[in-house]
Chains A and B, each alone.
Chain A
Amino acid sequence: MDITLIVVLVIALALFFDFTNGFHDTANAMATPIATGAMKPKVAVTVAAVLNLVGAFLSTAVATSISHGLINEGPGGVAISPEMIFAGLIGAVVWNMITWLRGLPSSSSHALFGGLIGAAIVGAGFQSVNYVALMTVVIIPAFLSPVIAAFVSFLSTRIAYRITRRPVFPNERGGFRVGQIFTSSMVSLAHGTNDAQKTMGVITLTLIASGAQSSNQGVQFWVVIACALAIALGTYTGGWRIIRTLGSGITEIRATQGFAAEASTAATILASSHLGFALSTTQVSSGSIIGAGLGRRGSKIQWSTAGKIVIAWFITLPASAAVGAVASGIARFGVVGLVLDAVIGGVVILGLYLWSLRKPHEQASAIEVDVAANAVYTRKELRDLQRKKRAENVAARRAELSRERTLRRMGARKGGRR
């Protein structure tokens, strides 16, 4: 069977989803090094993009577990059509745009799965989803991974602080800033191996569903290249809103904590990528940051921000499932429905984008109220600010003193004021 128009549409939308995934998730790897001043934002984003590109080529375990098994396809189960995947992707992209607009580090992966599941249930009934696979590959990792990551990162932070305990030796924790460059690069690489593959899995699923590829074949090479490029481009574009939330919204991060948090994020993601769990990089990375915050004595965690992030995790799957279900319902009206879907999806995405332009991101997000007090300043900027404030105080005091002195001198003069 040849590749039809709908397949081309789905692939285009899938690549667009990959792009949004990239800029949504830049924050996971690069929020901490930017916040601690280990890397300049532009440099950080470029490095992340390149490593995402490399990471996408490394492994295809996750892509295979998505394209084979999550949704029953082929002669054994209910055949799902490219139309449903299209509807599911619309759900995923729309939800991704909304959370990005609010600066919430929600999981792009769950948006994707939610959209697909919603679309499949409406389009082909409840039996079309393989619930055991759903539990194993998506739901359980979703609950476990942030906890594991937080625990690992807590331990690592403790170890790092313990070994480099002051005051016996000076100044060594600055070295963690150098280490951070490497660990955050590892996180980017891990993100490439895990997240780029999700899109590969979806495209492969489409090709299988349309009959362009047999279901026991692996991921094709042009799919790998296209996905790698899309996610790298998205990463390079950068999601500054989410970087701000993660970089200073949850807790103030120091270089040692950043190093430990990233080491554990990378280890967790790589280990589970290897076993084919499509866990959410976003959740792992937020979990690690919380763990690192717990690990340093005297550091505060803003539980209100953390709570909002966790709520966003819980509603991501159902919300995008709902959008996917609606889109899938519309798509049942044949070609007209499909066109309607595409138009509505396009309008919503464009609308959200224009909205984001209208409100510059200094005033954008909902959790901004919490974050506003400590927008991401690098340490150097913070220091400069403090220095400036001190200088102002000193100048004011000096002016006051000199005024006083003049008055006293005038008062002491014989004959009083002249």
Chain B
Amino acid sequence: MGIDWFAFLTVAVVAVVASCFVVSVYSVGLRFWSAADTRAGKFTVKDDGTIGPATAGFPNPAGSTGAVRGLRSLAIACFVVCAATVLYGIYLIVPQFH
């Protein structure tokens, strides 16, 4: 019985890919979410890039349509992808499912 270096490599690669994928998709989701918040007027972004207070009419019904709704659903889609990846991972390791 030799030492199975390939198995170690597999573990490393799987860990890198899975973890980076989940983390980046989740971060992108968060970014979409806050973009939606900004579009809806929860924050204002000043010229120098710092964050200002909410616009006067927040929460305004006009802000929750179109672009905002689209961004929100993109964010939710990202979170769903994360959850699905995790569930797929669990599915892979449980021998009863195969």
Residues of A within 8 A of B (CB): 58-61, 132-133, 135-136, 140-141, 144, 148-149, 151-153, 155-156, 159-160, 163-164, 167-173, 175-176, 179, 182, 186, 189, 193, 259-260, 263-264, 266-268, 270-275, 277
| Bound-complex Cα distance A172 to B33 (A) | 8
The answer to whether A58 touches B20 (Cβ under 8 A) is: no
Please name all residues of chain B whose beta carbon is closer than 8 Å to the beta carbon of A277 when the two chains form the complex: 7, 11
- CB contacts (< 8 Å) of A140 on chain B: these are 3, 8
Task: List the interface of chain B (C-beta within 8 A of A).
Answer: 1-4, 7-8, 10-12, 14-16, 18-20, 22-24, 26-31, 33-35, 37-38, 43, 45, 49-51, 82-83, 86, 89-90, 92-95
Question: Chain A contacts of B83 at CB under 8 A?
Answer: 182
Cβ contact within 8 Å between A170 and B89:
no
A259 touching B26, Cβ below 8 Å? yes
> Which residues of chain B are within 8 angstroms of A267 by Cβ–Cβ distance?
14-15, 18-19, 22, 89
Contact B19 A152 (CB under 8 A): yes
Contacts of B20 in A (CB 8 A): 152, 155-156, 159
B19: chain A residues at CB < 8 Å are: 152-153, 155-156, 260, 263-264, 266-268
Given contacts A151-B16, A156-B19, A268-B11, contact A169 B35 (CB under 8 A): yes
Q: A260 to B93, Cβ gap below 8 A?
A: no
Question: What are the residues of chain A within 8 A of B11 when measuring CB–CB?
Answer: 148, 268, 271-272, 275, 277
B30 adjacent to A133 (CB under 8 Å): no
When A136-B1, A273-B93, A275-B7 are in contact, do A169 and B23 touch as well, CB less than 8 Å?
no
Since A61-B95, A140-B8 are in contact, a sample of 12 more A-B pairs with Cβ atoms closer than 8 Å, ordered by chain A residue number, is A58-B90, A156-B19, A160-B23, A163-B28, A164-B27, A164-B30, A167-B51, A171-B34, A175-B30, A260-B19, A270-B89, A274-B92
Residue of A132, A170, A264 with highest tally of chain B CB at under 10 A: A170
CB neighbours (8 Å) of A136 from chain B are 1, 3-4
Closest A residue by C-beta to B16 = A152
CB-CB under 8 A from B27, the residues of chain A are 159-160, 163-164
Smallest beta-carbon distance B33→chain A, Å: 6
- What residues on B are CB-neighbors of A144 within 8 Å? 8, 12
Please name all residues of chain B whose beta carbon is closer than 8 Å to the beta carbon of A148 when the two chains form the complex: 11-12, 15
Docked CA distance A176–B20 (Å) = 15
19 A–B contact pairs at CB < 8 A?
A58-B90, A140-B3, A140-B8, A156-B23, A160-B23, A160-B24, A160-B27, A163-B31, A169-B45, A170-B38, A171-B51, A175-B30, A175-B34, A259-B23, A263-B23, A264-B15, A268-B15, A277-B7, A277-B11
Q: How far is the CA of A329 from the CA of B10 in the complex (A)?
A: 41
A171 to B52, CA, bound (A): 12
Are A193 and B93 interface neighbours, CB within 8 A? yes
Name which of A60, A136, A176 has the most chain B CB atoms within 10 A of its CB: A136
Known contacts A152-B20, A171-B43, A259-B23; A186 and B15 CB within 8 A of each other: no
Known contacts being A136-B1, A260-B23, A275-B10, is A173 close to B90, with CB within 8 Å?
Answer: no
8 tightest CB-CB pairs across the interface, nearest first?
A163-B27, A172-B34, A267-B19, A264-B19, A175-B30, A156-B23, A170-B51, A271-B14
